[in-house]
Amino acid sequence: MIKLTRINEYEDEQQDWLIEGFLCPWLTLLSGQPKHGKSLLAGHIAISLIQETPLLGHFVTGSNHVIAWLGYDAGWKQEVSTRWLEASRGQIFLCNPLRSLEKSQWLLLAKSLQTEGVTLLIIDHLYGMAGALGLNDAEQVAVITNLLRPFYEEYGIAVLLLAQASKGQFSNGRAAHSVAIEGEARALIRISDKKKNGARKIDLISNTSGEESISVRLTPEVIEIKESKPSHKDEKSERESPDIVRDFLAKANTRAMTSWSGVGREIHRLGLSTSEAAGRSMSTRWRKQDLIKMESRIVVAGDSLLPAEYLTNPYNNKNASSDYLPSGVYGRVNG
């Protein structure tokens, strides 16, 4: 039976990102050239979820995350165990490689993972799962995506799929083969520009959160943002932003800001951005400039927004909503 719903009658079943702007609740594709650190980044993503700690400035939503890791390369279980055993708190399941493309086998896996409370399935990697399928053919790619779709649509398990990028100099971490692979994913993570001392570039791309490029240092022990000298454009933006943020905090509907995505939607509602995605990008820039921040899971004015005396006495902040003084609360964040 075909169901039609008028747009004004549609009720949005909002699903929070597992890691805001980084890991979506559906299919996220992580791609990069061989030996560029895809599995390493996947491990840091898993540990961030388990320990509920921000990843490169992006906050985790939800709690009690459990990870299932399904690998295909020789020795992958030993590698995952050696790297992440201590930090994982026993919250990572290691799955035997599933080489069958029978839908019933993958549905059985989805049911088993749901029973164990798994919230994220990491598949490392696409080649191993595809077997003899030709990934240049969109119809062959559809075989893979049809097996994965029930995990996030029916069983509520997000999927992080690792894929190889072409070895060309200008691939920039983009997944090789058919564009249908990236087309199915709701979020893309591209890793590229491998240099000494763990330096990498990570590009985050999605329809809902916009685009972000981050220079990082990535090693088994740490993942952190590499500081870069701000451009003249960034300095100008920083001079212009404080008054905009103060005005935003005074007018924003705090009850609508239950996540960083909600902050982006509120920025757009107030006409400060051309789209919700642009609003989220703006909120990310404000956080990096320390114009807004999170304290005890509460969004407050950042240290660079207000003079020192304002930080100790919220009654001095003329832009604060009187409904939320004296705490200075502007919105509770789930992640």
pLDDT value at position 247? 79
Structure tokens at 231: 């451009």
pLDDT recorded at residue 225: 85
Instruction: Show Cβ contacts of residue 290 under 8 Å, excluding neighbours closer than 6 positions.
Output: 302, 303, 304, 305
Q: Residue 216: exposed, middle, or buried by beta-carbon count in 10 A (0-12, 13-18, 19+)?
A: buried
What is the Cα Rg of the chain in Å?
21
Q: So what's the pLDDT on residue 241?
A: 62
Helix (H) or strand (E) holding 309: helix 308-312
Distance CA 24, CA 64 (A): 17
Instruction: Report d(CA 333, CA 24) in Å as an integer.
Output: 17
CB under 8 Å to 122, separation ≥6 — which residues?
Answer: 42, 45, 46, 67, 68, 69, 70, 160, 162
Tokens of 119: 């919230």
| Sequence-distant (≥ 6) Cβ neighbours of residue 332 within 8 angstroms | 254, 257, 258, 297, 298, 299
This model's pTM is above 0.75: no
Are 253 and 266 contacting, i.e. CB atoms less than 8 angstroms apart?
A: yes
Q: What pLDDT, on the 0 to 100 scale, is given for residue 51?
A: 95
Residue whose entry in the numeric block shows the structure tokens 């299932």 = 68
The DSSP annotation for 87-124 comes to: HHTT-EEEEPP-----HHHHHHHHHHHHHTT--EEEEE
Q: Residue for token digits 């559906």?
A: 26
Domains along the chain? 7-225 (3.40.50.300), 232-332 (no CATH)
Predicted local confidence at residue 211, as pLDDT: 87
Please say whether the beta carbons of 329 and 298 come within 8 A: yes
**Amino acid at the residue 223:** I
> Do 264 and 277 meet the contact criterion of CB atoms below 8 Å apart?
yes
> Residue with structure tokens 């906050």?
59
Query: How many Cβ atoms sit within 10 Å of the Cβ of residue 245?
Result: 23
One pLDDT digit (tens) per residue for the chain, 335 residues: 778 888 887 776 668 999 999 999 999 999 999 999 999 999 999 999 999 998 988 899 999 999 999 999 999 999 999 999 999 999 999 999 999 999 999 999 999 999 999 999 999 999 999 998 989 999 999 999 999 999 999 999 999 999 999 887 678 899 988 889 899 999 999 999 999 889 999 999 998 878 899 999 999 999 988 865 555 554 444 444 687 888 788 888 877 777 777 788 888 788 777 677 777 788 888 888 888 877 766 677 888 876 544 444 444 444 444 443 334 433 433 44
pLDDT of amino acid 312: 47
